[in-house]
Amino acid sequence: MTELQEPGSELLGQQHPSLPVVRVGEATLPTTSGTFRAVAYRQADGVEHLALLTGEVGDGHDVLVRMHSECMTGDVLGSLRCDCGPQLHAALDAISAEGRGIVLYLRGQEGRGIGLAEKIAAYALQEQGRDTVEANLDLGLPVDARDYTGAVAVLRDLGVRDVELMTHNPVKVEALQAHGVPVVRRRDLPVAPTSDNLRYLRTKRDRMGHRLPGVG
């Protein structure tokens, strides 16, 4: 775990006006990682998110949180081109073991926000030698188009006041703190390098500032 300082003045990424969310459903969800309380939300623009909770948020302080961007190829199909699936399951295991925490599954963020079809088009360029940053730019797309205002609204609705964030990505830390949710600590997730994703992980580390000490 890494202690974090107070948020700095420099913010990575464009911030947008807050999107309200509506809680639309809640149920018990037994999984291979444990049994969670699943709370479904819908943004005003129709995008849906799912919060998976274990334990009680209580006073809202120091809540273990993972903000996980939807990845059909990694989470559902088991793609080895990214480490998204292993990160999701590691996060679920971690909060289940901790007995208190939230995995927030964020829809509409496929391919760092560019969408599924565009992600496959970017994969094709990567097969021709481009890295994940270059491929997006070649397609006229942003390197990272994700927005976390909906995620912040969900955390606030659940009573979260500050978090221990499971992430390798400094932009997620910056985004939460810019929206008034302090990140008191950051926790590494296990890294799962393979021959298929090693270049991708190195690009995230070297070009996007991700903390990936397990990547050679």
The catalytic residues are 144, 146
128 is in an annotated binding site: no
CB 39 within 8 A of CB 51: yes
d(CA 32, CA 156): 28
113 is in an annotated binding site: no
194 is in an annotated binding site: no
132 is in an annotated binding site: yes
89 is in an annotated binding site: no
69 is in an annotated binding site: yes
1 is in an annotated binding site: no
DSSP one-letter code for 194: -
DSSP one-letter code for 59: T
33 is in an annotated binding site: no
b/e code 149-182 from CB counts within 10 Å (16+ = b)? bbbbbbbbebebebbbbbbbbebbbbbbbbbebb
d(CA 108, CA 139): 19
109 is in an annotated binding site: no
Rounding to the nearest 10 degrees, give the CA dihedral for residues 203, 206, 210, 211. Answer: 120
Query: Position of tokens 């990575």?
Result: 12
101 is in an annotated binding site: no
167 is in an annotated binding site: yes
Rounded alpha-carbon distances, angstroms, from residue 45 to 15, 48, 198: 16, 9, 36
Task: Specify binding-site residues.
Answer: 66-71, 82, 84, 87, 110-112, 132, 167, 172
Task: Specify binding-site residues for Zn(2+).
Answer: 71, 82, 84
Task: Specify binding-site residues for GTP.
Answer: 66-70, 87, 110-112, 132, 167, 172
